[in-house]
Amino acid sequence: MSKAKSGPPPPSHPAPSSEVAVTGHAAAPITIDWSEGSPNFELANGSSFHVRGRLYLDASTTSGSRFSSRDISGTELSSARLGVDGRYGEHWNYKVELEFADGGTTLKENYVGYAGKLGSNDLKIYAGNKTGDRSIDGASYDDYVPFFQRSMLATSVGPEKGIFGVGVLAQLIGRDWHVGLDLVGDDANGNVGTADDTLTYVGRATWTPGLDRLTRVHIGGWGYYEDISKGNSTIARSIYPGEHFDDDLRITMVPVANARSTTGEGGEVGVMRGSFWTFGEYGRRSISALSGDRTWTSKVAEAGFFLTGEKPNFSSRTGVWTQVAPRRSFFDGGPGAIEIAARYETADLGRSELAGSGSDMTFAVDWFLTRNVRAIADLVHWKVTNPIAPYVGRDTGNTINLRLDTSF
């Protein structure tokens, strides 16, 4: 939709670990840690091997559309992933992950990484297929985003590579800031070997300083340039407004033929105080094509609050959503972490005679039973306007999304 876990706080009741001896020229203890929900094998030299995975069980119902065929309900296994990650020595790390969904198998994050220092700051470099660094939700793992799925801004005004891309990605990270640069080609699943890759250059910078003990502000910006492959020069995109199950409920467009290049830029602002957070984003994509230039835009405003007292799960160092750690796990007799959130977002894919537009207002309740188990309920009021069949014109309605997910 769219993991190497970055800096979550330790659990209040760590799972037990055990040690076994590996025989050979020199016996070395292995610690097996279950605190992430699956076994993590730690060697004394700093190397590790961790089994990882996730499962999304969804239910969705849509009503109120003026097109009766859009009013559908059902269940979906929207994501099932299995993989491994770990470290080799002090500086090297890796990840291999497959997703089994929609009747097929796709590659997700598959990379080798280096973690070191540049002066007093952290330097991270990745080579492979990895989540890119663009916008808040677009740079975050989708199981950490506070809503049923990433924002329309993350999916509508991004480059052709999508959320992922094969190439080199680097980040320089300070105490409350970071700068990221990506040089990538297509997603690992996106090129069948009959044309050149579309080459994309992406940059993002964020600063999230603390104003006092309870308050932080966030400022960020991103931009990209992509050189469109001549063999894949037709651009087409459709956007789900706040849901994933109903394939007939999308913002659509007449494809852009003979595209040569695109550019994108966006800005981010936000405030966090205590258990409250709020963010706003704007993004734009400009397409240069022989068939005529187009401009796409998207906006999002969102806010949330933890009723159980947790702080926002947002990294001040890298500007992404991180894992929520309940103060008291539900399975330890506590309430878990309960968050309420609201989001308003828009997406406009260009001139009305050629492309659709839409908006949605989402109200969400997230219940984090533990760090690894979450239940979500989203109520979405959506509006879409499309220029092409079979759903021509303006339409509005409501969708209820339910999800039980686990990731480890």
Residues of the chain with pLDDT > 90, as a percent, come to 85
pLDDT band at 191 (very low <50, low <70, confident <90, very high): confident
Mean pLDDT, to the nearest integer, of 307-329? Answer: 97
Q: Is the pTM of this model over 0.75?
A: yes
Q: Is the pLDDT of residue 20 over 50?
A: no
Indicate whether 273 belongs to any domain: yes
- Indicate the DSSP class of residue 138: T
Encode burial over 364-402: b for 16+ CB neighbours within 10 A, e otherwise.
bebbbbbbbbbebebebbbbbbbbeeebeeebebbbebe
Beta strands in 307-372 (DSSP E): 337-348, 357-368
Q: What is the SS3 assignment for 79?
A: strand
Q: Is residue 319 part of a domain?
A: yes
Residue 3, pLDDT > 80, answer: no
Residue 106 lies in a domain: yes
CB 256 within 8 A of CB 234: yes
**In-domain check, residue 241:** yes
Does the structure show a pLDDT above 90 at 46? no
Query: Which range is least confidently modeled, 25-34, 266-275, 307-316?
Result: 25-34
Full domain range(s) for residue 228: 17-407
CA pair distance 310, 305, nearest whole angstrom: 9
Cα 81–86–87 angle (5° rounding)?
A: 160
In a domain? residue 368: yes
b/e string for 99-132 if b means 16 or more Cβ within 10 A? beeeeeebbbbbbebebeeeeeebebbbebbbbb
Q: Is the pLDDT higher at 328 or at 231?
A: 328
**Number of domains present in the structure of the chain:** 1
Lowest-pLDDT choice from 175-179, 188-192, 219-223: 188-192
Q: What is the mean pLDDT of the segment spanning 299-318?
A: 98
7: in domain: no
The rounded mean pLDDT for the chain is 92
In this structure, is the dihedral angle defined by the CA atoms of residues 111, 155, 248 and 237, taken in order, positive or negative?
A: negative
Which CATH number goes with the domain that contains 274? 2.40.160.10
Task: Identify whether 117 is part of a domain.
Answer: yes
Answer for the pair 264, 155: CB distance below 8 angstroms, yes or no.
Answer: no
Rounded CA Rg of the chain: 22
pLDDT tens per residue across span 201-229 = 999 999 999 999 999 999 999 999 999 99
pLDDT at 375 (0 to 100): 98
Confidence check: pLDDT of 70 > 50: yes
Q: Check residue 28 and give its pLDDT.
A: 57
Give 120's pLDDT tier (boundaries 50, 70, 90): very high
* Any domain includes 9: no
